[in-house]
Amino acid sequence: MSVIRITIVLVSLLASCACGETAETATSPTAIEPATILFSGTLQPMGTRFYSYTMTTAGTVTAMLASLERGYTPMPNSLELGLGIPAGTGCAASIASNTTTSLTSQLRQDFAAGTYCVRISDKDGLPAAMTFTIRLVHP
Amino acid sequence: MRRVLIVVIVLAAGCAKTTMTSPTPIADTAALLREFSSSVIPGGSASRAFDVASTGAITVVLKSATPSGIPVGLGVGIPRSNGSCALSASVEGGTSAQIAIAAEKGTYCAKVYDLGTLTAPLNFTIEISHP
């Protein structure tokens, strides 16, 4: 075999193998920005309020009873905060906790895609109607 | 034949794999400090929203108030959808009143409000520290 033929064969081999690497198209993972819901309202003594929301993807839901006020004054009363599924005209909580206000989430639960609800209830008897604010974060 | 070898070596060298490394992220752990100055009218309030980047402590200090010596409410909470500040915790006091509360990543607010003691507008400055 002549030198020229050898050269042609080697160059062809190197060019065809493309350095042994497989060309790949890199794709960035799609970032799903969590949705933040602020649920505010007035809670009457022994009352219950809830808010329904829809998750298009599965993921972790966090709920924070951030504020309970009478006028401008934050109140220390304990309320039941729950996460669950709308049922009839109410919200059937699958997870619930008696809690006072905090700026860290009191509830954290994984859910599949679907329609859910967050519920706040007074079980102990508030001395008067109070305004609450719940922050809910879901995928 | 020597020329062939040279060609092969040059081509092979061009195929040398380069390893790229990502820069190591450096966490910024220093608390952010900011001042907010405004005024409160009798029966009113003033608030300022801010973003907390990671879980940590929020501290709010009443640095100055004019006229001085009049107690006011100082609180930390979460902004409602209408922009008002829903309080989670508060203290009552004059200059140097301070409140600290743990918080996770999110948007929060600090508020100064009249306790019913103001008869004229009060100018104030608060200092907010957060992660």
DSSP string, A70-98: ETTEE----EEEEEEEEETTEEEEEEEEE
Among A63-72, A76-85, B27-36, B38-47, the range scoring the smallest mean pLDDT is B27-36
Among A79-83, A126-130, B15-19, B83-87, the range scoring the smallest mean pLDDT is B15-19
Q: In this structure, what are the phi and psi dihedrals at residue A83, rounded to the nearest 5 degrees? A: -125, 140
Distance CA B122, CA B108 (A): 23
Question: Given phi > 0 = left and psi -120 to 50 = alpha, else beta, which region is A19?
Answer: left
Q: pLDDT (tens digit, 9 = 90+) per residue, B92-115? A: 988 888 999 999 999 999 999 999
The alpha-carbon gap from A7 to the nearest alpha carbon of chain B, in Å, equals 6
Pairing relation of β-strands A59-70 and A73-74? antiparallel
Answer whether residue B37 shows pLDDT above 90: yes
Q: What is the pLDDT of residue B53?
A: 93
Q: Give B7's contacts in chain A (Cβ within 8 Å).
A: 7, 10-11
Q: Taking all residues of chain B, what is their mean pLDDT, rounded to a whole number?
A: 84
Q: What is the pLDDT of residue B29?
A: 53
Of the pLDDT bands very low, low, confident and very high (cuts 50, 70, 90), residue B89 is very high
- Cα distances from A38 to residues A35, A43, A133, B59, B110, in angstroms, run 10, 15, 7, 23, 17
Q: What is the pLDDT of residue A8?
A: 52
User: To 10 degrees, what angle do helices B2-14 and A3-17 make?
Assistant: 10
**B27: Cα separation from own chain's centroid:** 15
Question: Given phi > 0 = left and psi -120 to 50 = alpha, else beta, which region is A11?
Answer: alpha
Answer whether residue A32 shows pLDDT above 80: no
Burial of B11 (0-12, 13-18, 19+ CB in 10 A): middle
Q: What is the pLDDT of residue A2?
A: 54
> Using an 8 Å Cβ cutoff, are B94 and B72 in contact?
yes
Bond preceding residue A74 cis, omega within 30 of 0: no
Tell me the CATH class for B31-130: mainly beta
Contact B4 A74 (CB under 8 A): no
**A1: Cα separation from own chain's centroid:** 69
Answer whether residue A41 shows pLDDT above 80: yes
**A104: Cα separation from own chain's centroid:** 14
Answer whether residue A30 shows pLDDT above 90: no
Contact B75 A131 (CB under 8 A): no
- Which structural domains are found in chain A, ordered by start? 35-138 (2.60.120.380)
Q: Taking all residues of chain A, what is their mean pLDDT, rounded to a whole number?
A: 86
| Arithmetic mean of pLDDT, A17-32 | 54
The pair of structure tokens assigned to A58 is 């599965």
Answer whether residue B10 shows pLDDT above 50: no
Answer whether residue A20 shows pLDDT above 50: no
Q: pLDDT (tens digit, 9 = 90+) per residue, A88-116? A: 999 999 999 999 999 999 999 999 999 99
Contact A14 B113 (CB under 8 A): no
Q: Give A10's contacts in chain B (Cβ within 8 Å).
A: 4, 7-8, 11
Domain spans of chain B, in order of start: 31-130
Q: Give the CB-side neighbour count of residue A23, counting CA atoms within 13 A.
A: 3
Q: What is the pLDDT of residue A13?
A: 47
Q: Give B8's contacts in chain A (Cβ within 8 Å).
A: 10, 14
Q: pLDDT (tens digit, 9 = 90+) per residue, B58-79? A: 999 999 999 999 999 999 999 9
What ipTM does this complex have?
0.74
DSSP 3-state of B10: helix
The alpha-carbon gap from A91 to the nearest alpha carbon of chain B, in Å, equals 23
For residue A6, give the H/E element and its range. Answer: helix A3-17
Task: Using CA coordinates, name the residue in chain B closest to A19.
Answer: B15
Model pTM above 0.95: no
Q: What is the pLDDT of residue B81?
A: 85
